[in-house]
Chain A
């Protein structure tokens, strides 16, 4: 006479916890590629799909990004979601056409040289 009843209290207990990150991401693992870094810049796409995503976390994120460009780190800071979760949500929303992300510049000596020059000039112009 085994019933499923005896398992239910445990399930109820689990559900009472705060929503965990893997629930927000539908149980998927964190991204392990380099497409999105802490400083990848993101905003809403120029021509997003007409229908809005159903997921409340994605809606929240889209709304935040509607005001202009923000880095992945800033999105995490404003939404208080862990960075890994933000990367997944941004990756989905980019693939679905809602968000646009500025491709990170590949690291190379020539590029670094240029960036360092610009950082130095910028710091000196502002604080020098």
Chain B
């Protein structure tokens, strides 16, 4: 390895790729964003970090010290080359209100967002849904089914989340590639329908 930074060929994009698109995978802490991205990505998921200077007011960061004025926000992301010319990036975005700087950077140019929700902790998804709506990002809901999760019907979940009738709600297993791909497909179909 030494100090050389040039990496294996598989790390780089094909030279023919012309366009990069971005979809956000958002949700509350530990809902399965990183799992989803790991399942779908063609490269080992990467992490970017930004140091936030604003005072934190959240209470859910297990490592955060209260009253700290700087905090590091980590975002995991993955990559999916979809054709000779197109690459899709999936960015996992933390759902806390205090990360507005990150959100501004993330949402710029995003096609849409997949909001992962845990059916047992639906109320924890409200802040992140507020953020997505605030930034005007069209979204679909993917209900991440954990082992042994009692099956709330998707209609019950739709009602509990107070969604617009057209917002897609799909069931998904973030560990399963086919299932995760299906939820992305549902999102993209919805995004298409909004343009018609």
Contact = CB atoms under 8 A, between A and B. Distances in A.
A associates with B: yes
A67 B14 CA distance: 10
A69 B13 contact: yes
B188 interface: yes
Interface in B127-176: none
B192 A116 contact: yes
Interface residues of B, number: 51
A123 B82 contact: yes
Contacts, number: 145
A83 B50 contact: yes
Interface residues of A, number: 47
A39 B20 contact: yes
A113 B195 contact: yes
Contacts of B5: 60, 63-64, 78-79
Contact of B111 (A79, A84, A112): A112
B111 A82 contact: no
A102 to B, nearest CB: 7
Given A69-B15, A70-B11, A118 B82 contact: yes
Interface in A78-128: 78-80, 82-84, 102, 104-105, 107, 109, 112-113, 115-128
Interface of A: 21, 34, 37-41, 60, 63-64, 66-71, 73-74, 76-80, 82-84, 102, 104-105, 107, 109, 112-113, 115-128
12 contacts: A34-B108, A39-B20, A39-B109, A67-B7, A68-B13, A69-B17, A71-B79, A83-B48, A115-B86, A115-B111, A120-B188, A127-B182
